[in-house]
Structure 1
């Protein structure tokens, strides 16, 4: 392997194309399949069977050092379109050079909670937002790898739409 991804160099968060003001950390949604336990005659035990293309609640968390106008405006009870754009540091071992590889995550999300934080002299406030994500798309180095659209029955992973046959069966 000649390309060694080492770390995130930096990233920015945008809402509707506007860069956030403030220092923020982000925890991206986890893809955890919905499952059903299968057991019965003809099976030696039981196993959890994932429901194709269906995922548990997906949550995006933003952590801020202090409250900002962006943190507070993200409390609006509406769908927010957020775009997280980062640069991954990759060590190209073949030529001994570092390069920056783009990472982009786009989500449609609605606020679940907004925490202005705690007030303590000389300390960050530990402010945060938590969102329910219904749409997420991830690109790495310009290639689309994941698109999950819960409301439109889309589950594309590495170019394969695992819900295409389901949409067809449902008449859509």
Structure 2
């Protein structure tokens, strides 16, 4: 990103289920956190201890979809199988050098099974709310056509910035 470009906001987004169904009732998404699996290292020659991440391995990752109302899609998302969600957004940036706004495409693809569904509450004259939570087995983040992160827990892929951190582990395992 050029120095004079200021990232401002996500202008809008859409979520597609299995590449076709537009989940229009989604109010917002909470993307998963990336927490490395780690262990404490201590022993001879170390002045104290430290936590060491296991390359390419992450703890449980969850995507949360928050809904305005009880939607058919919220209930369909409960199917007891892996679901593929294609989250497409438009980042709005301000180019101070040109004095104009620019749009960058952002795409997050997630696959995994549903693990929690909260239909919300009924209250007169108010949104019902509700949420769906998906355990993330696969995740890919692409901004402006550049793949920045790809994690596939079952196929031993952990690419971050073009580097596959599980490549040498796969080789060592004979895969």
- Interval containing the TM-score (normalised by the shorter chain): over 0.9
Please state whether the residue corresponding to 1:95 is helix, strand or coil. Answer: coil
Residue 32 of structure 1: which of 5, 30, 35 is its match?
35
CA distance in 1, matches of 2:25, 2:165: 38
Please state whether the residue corresponding to 2:136 is helix, strand or coil. Answer: strand
Runs of 5+ unmatched residues, structure 1: none
Residue 129 of structure 2: which of 122, 126, 130 is its match?
126
Match of 1:3 in 2: 5
- Please say if 1:86 is aligned against 2:52: no
Please state whether the residue corresponding to 1:152 is helix, strand or coil. Answer: coil
Match of 2:15 in 1: 13
CA shift at 1:29, angstroms? 0.8
Residue 53 of structure 2: which of 45, 50, 54 is its match?
50
Please state whether the residue corresponding to 1:151 is helix, strand or coil. Answer: coil
Please state whether the residue corresponding to 1:167 is helix, strand or coil. Answer: helix
Please state whether the residue corresponding to 2:64 is helix, strand or coil. Answer: strand
CA distance in 2, matches of 1:126, 1:42: 55
Matches within 5 A, 1:91-130: 91-130=94-133
The CA RMSD measured in Å over matched residues stands at: 0.8
Match of 1:161 in 2: 164
CA shift at 1:120, angstroms? 1.1
- Deviation above 3 Å: which 4+ runs of structure 1? none
- TM-score (norm: length of structure 1): 0.98
| CA displacement 1:132-153 (0-9 Å, x = unmatched) | 0000000011100000001111
Please state whether the residue corresponding to 1:168 is helix, strand or coil. Answer: helix
| CA displacement 1:59-95 (0-9 Å, x = unmatched) | 0000001110100000011000000000000111111
Please state whether the residue corresponding to 2:154 is helix, strand or coil. Answer: helix
Q: 1:150 to 1:23 in 2, by over 3 A?
A: closer
CA distance in 2, matches of 1:140, 1:3: 15
- TM-score (norm: length of structure 2): 0.96
